[in-house]
Amino acid sequence: MWNANDNRYEAMQYRRCGASGLKLPAISLGLWQNFGAGSSFANAEAMCRTAFDHGITHFDLANNYGHPYNGSAEENFGRILKNGLGAYRDELCISTKAGYEMWAGPYGDRGGSRKYLIASLDQSLRRMGLDYVDIFYHHVYDPETPLEETALALDQIVRQGKALYVGISNYDRAHTTKMQKLLHELHTPFIVNQPSYSMLNRWVEEDMLDAYCLENGLGLAVFSPLAQGLLTDRYLHGIPEDSRISKGNTWVGSQLTEEMLAKLRALNEIAKKRWQSLSQLAIAWLLHHPAVTTVLVGASRPEQIIHNVDALTHPDFTEDELQQIEEILNG
């Protein structure tokens, strides 16, 4: 029987999610890639156990995560829970989402209807073998469903005891504002927005979503912090043959220009002076933002998780470092 590391909470930082009472680890594990039926189950289990052993208590899923078929990441996570991690259920914060295409027919298509959200969460709970999730997200704004309907569905899910808190993902500031007003009127524990955000993808700043969330008590759980691998040392000297870019499995290949490479190499020089890797610098930079509650990292092997957690050993920036980073990114 597997037993978790007794010292798992010593190095991790925990941050209150917005104005709620819930604390999330500064680094969370996202199960988007490498946890489905087409991946090694032993490796997926080792990654989850390694994450928890290093203080990562938050595991983020969605109904459509998993390759080669939707839901297989939740199925595997359910097996991982049964194999020992579930013994620590009260120490875990488990989240899942619904919003993208999931099953055949009009009720499983992309959307935010009451029918789709409630049915989807019921399926997710069965796949994971859970009575409830800690956070349930609407995964993407649906222009064809009234926000009032989506809000009422999220409220019903909490009142049924199927989720403790609710959140939204991929919502801009305008729709976040409207959703917060609706859920505030319903007294629903709406605590978090999950947008993409990185040094190379700063739309949340341009949209002022970060400022809104900070001012209005919502946490930001940010995903794609390494810009699909660009903010790692993987591409500093060209495109490796085994990379996702070389295989055409990611959209970021078109962004890997000589200008981008120059920026990445300049950022890497700052990271080296801080005794960090480029990826650790990118994570620490996000966590420096007061609106960010947690950074969702992906992984393909346990060692990557440990490496990302080590970003917390150098969390602070000097004003000179921040200015240099801005000059590089805006250059």
Query: Kind and range of the H or E element at 14?
Result: strand 14-16
Residue with structure tokens 């078109």?
254
Domain limits, the chain = 14-227+280-313
What DSSP character marks residue 10? S
- What are the residue ranges of helices labelled H in 54-133? 72-82, 114-128
The alpha carbons of the chain give a radius of gyration, in whole angstroms, of: 19
CB 299 within 8 A of CB 20: no
Which architecture characterizes domain 14-227+280-313 according to CATH?
Alpha-Beta Barrel (3.20)
> Which residues are CB-contacts of 321 (< 8 A; sequence separation ≥ 6)?
270, 274
Report how far residue 264's alpha carbon sits from residue 221's, in angstroms, rounded to the nearest whole number. Answer: 24
Picking from 52-66, 145-159, 246-260, which range would have the lowest pLDDT averaged per residue? 246-260
What percentage of the chain carries pLDDT values higher than 70? 96
pLDDT band for position 237 (cuts 50, 70, 90)? confident
Model pLDDT, residue 219: 98
pLDDT of residue 250: 58
Mean pLDDT of the 13-19 span: 98
Structure pTM?
Answer: 0.95
- Find, among 58, 13, 68, the residue nearest to 31 by Cα: 58
Q: Which residues are CB-neighbours of 206 under 8 A, at least 6 positions away?
A: none
Residue 316 in tokens: 């602070």
Q: Is the pLDDT of residue 240 over 70?
A: no
27-31, 182-186, 241-245, 268-272: least confident range: 241-245
At 96-111, the pLDDT tens digits run 999 999 999 999 999 9
- Residue closest to 176 by CA, chosen among 143, 218, 135, 136: 218
Confidence of residue 246 (pLDDT cuts 50, 70, 90): low
